[in-house]
Chains A and B, each alone.
Chain A
């Protein structure tokens, strides 16, 4: 679902939109055991205001307010059933990790970068850090290499940073062993271990991949690079990261505005290492000048850096979807390559992979990160609570389930989804051919293709001889070729039944797979319509003079349509795995399925209207059909949940047992 979301107005509302649902409008299933009720409940127009509404459904409808507001608020904290935030890696670093460091830095009287350094040292265990610090901070600072050996803690923080110097004549780099060259530089951290600039850069570039502190290359030296050291070593503009964060600064507005203009002007091609204020680049150029000059310039540089830092660590609460998309573009732009940014990404990546509440968006090439703030129930707990599925969507509108990483798959439990996906990923065409053109050897179940006219089959695997026509053993056939008179033989009947059963299951699979697939195609097409809709709304706003808010019905309708279709699509998977489709609950489910299907197609049809004026005229129709669709979707989901929790639905575990999976399982066993 990669709609045209760069325009912030078209904030695709990804919550299951129950916002138009009034509580008493809900079609609730009456007690499923009551036979007389199902015809009533399945009649779409009937309302049965029952109170058997499950907690999950209540939870969803109660989120309707925030869902409504999220359209206009552009709040990147979306409230579904579970609260979560969406970030890019860099945003995550800036907001969460730096935020953590900031809090601690206020307590410990250290700079934010120093706290980040210490947090990395303690592998983000802030309690351990605090404990050690309270215990004996001077020892800690020396041990971690933050301060030079036993120096005054109140020293100028700039003294703790690394320096680039010109190489002296009698010096040689201990790494490459090349003698000093006039004009070339050497770099050393506060420990004083110098290596030539190129070796140091090469070393650091390799080390950052670990996502931990990058230590001085000297053997057993505890000192490591701070973030500022990256700027010095790689001649990067200290603002490079901040520039990459199109944040809305409140303080020092003038400067920010200037920056922003620059950003747009340079964007995207020259937005590399050299971007930034003219004065800034001058400053970094000046480090190429004489060494003495350099030191005097440094302090200026640092002051500037300090100021910039304040901006850099400023929270940008209003970062919106547009900003996110821009960030994604920035992240993928190779010209923006900066070692420091890469280092930060690696740090964040390491942190993310160690924390279970952080999830990458599973969509290909989507860099979005979901931070979940609530407890997510386990798959087992969710097996019957369909409405509690942790379905989230990233800011690029990819909707997925946190538990199984597949798309929004209401109303099917994750375990069933996994089986379905596995089944579909088995080469279904091949499976189809095998099933129709081969028979299984009655003894070893190896699929056998008949490649000649003779019906006397000999399994190439186990050597069992049988009759192709009746599948019975050949032994009892004697010499009566082509005139199989053993038709009613118990063994051959059994063998045939088995094959027939497989074929029946396969037909069932194809039946539901076709429907599943058809809706997938429709969803893709609906998404395309959605992309066009935004243009349409724009033209409507201009030509018809309607307000932005009024135009929203179109967007909401298409959003509902896609979600309802997806639920419908997955409901076929549910049908496929449903063990007994003759029970009352199953019939109720099927009725619900049918009426959702009708509702979806009705709504879908409205989008065939191309004329803008007609669309406006049909506005009430849109809203009505959309509401109806939502209600049908909701009732289908709650019907499934109810059935699963009271045990009237059971999944057929053995249905996938066609010969392919049998062969596979045998192979696995071996």
Chain B
């Protein structure tokens, strides 16, 4: 494993010393490129009260390429599939090296508040979301209560 770049060290330090409200990110002791992340569901969203676990990995070429992020907690969301993969432009074509882990996690958090069923990853969820939004939000709430309970 190549030596950690100054960028990763600085970002980690700041994530720990000055955490974003509602978000935690801790690097693994044995692999400092691998982070355990938690995101709280924002208030006024179907995910309110939930605590979602994610994993985040910084590839060798980071920050020239985007980190790999995945939800570990089951979540009912049109842009997140059942394997936890996230469809987010910031992770794909809109990635630029100036985006930091914290900006990225913030945009994932805001994806939870504003789902985009027109650009879906989980087709079945997106279809429900379009046909019966109230019902879909209800399911999302149920899933949050069932799988993302705060301990």
Contacts and interface: CB of A to CB of B under 8 A. Distances in A.
B64 A202 contact: yes
A174 B5 contact: no
Contact of B99 (A178, A193, A216, A219): A219
A203 B96 contact: yes
A175 B97 CA distance: 6
Interface string B95-124: 011110001000000000000000000000
A177 B98 contact: no
A530 interface: no
Nearest to B11: A177
Contacts of A219: 90, 96, 98-99, 103
Contact of B98 (A178, A195, A202, A206): A195
In this complex, the member of B5, B90, B98, B103 whose beta carbon has the largest number of chain A beta carbons within 10 angstroms is B98
A218 interface: yes
A203 B7 contact: no
B63 interface: yes
Contact of A177 (B5, B90, B94, B103): B5
B131 interface: no
Interface residues of A, number: 17
Interface string A337-381: 000000000000000000000000000000000000000000000
Given A202-B64, A203-B64, A177 B10 contact: yes
B28 interface: no
B58 to A, nearest CB: 13
B110 to A, nearest CB: 13
A454 interface: no
B6 A217 contact: no
A199 interface: yes
Contacts of A190: none
A174 B9 CA distance: 13
In this complex, the member of B6, B10, B96, B99 whose beta carbon has the largest number of chain A beta carbons within 10 angstroms is B96
Interface in A218-239: 218-220
A220 to B, nearest CB: 8
Contacts of A174: 98
A176 interface: yes
A327 to B, nearest CB: 32
A218 B98 CA distance: 5
A174 B96 CA distance: 11
A175 B63 contact: yes
B64 A218 contact: no
A625 interface: no
Contacts of A199: 97
Contacts of A217: 96-98
Interface in A168-214: 174-178, 193, 195, 199, 202-203, 206
Interface residues of B, number: 15
B64 A177 contact: no
Interface in B1-50: 5-7, 9-11
In this complex, the member of B7, B64, B97, B103 whose beta carbon has the largest number of chain A beta carbons within 10 angstroms is B97
Contacts of B90: 219
Given A193-B98, A219-B99, A176 B7 contact: yes
A456 interface: no
A298 interface: no
A213 to B, nearest CB: 12
Interface string B51-73: 00000000000011000000000
A176 B6 contact: yes
A215 interface: yes
A361 B54 CA distance: 49
B62 to A, nearest CB: 10
Nearest to B90: A219
A203 B94 CA distance: 13
Nearest to A195: B98
A215 B63 CA distance: 16
Contact of B7 (A177, A215, A216): A177
Contact of A206 (B7, B64, B99, B103): B64
Contacts of A175: 7, 63, 97-98
A215 B10 CA distance: 25
Contacts of B11: 177
Nearest to A212: B93
Nearest to A175: B97
Interface of B: 5-7, 9-11, 63-64, 90, 94, 96-99, 103
Given A177-B11, A193-B98, A219-B103, 7 more contacts: A176-B63, A177-B6, A177-B9, A195-B97, A202-B64, A217-B98, A219-B96
6 contacts: A176-B6, A176-B63, A177-B10, A177-B11, A202-B64, A203-B64
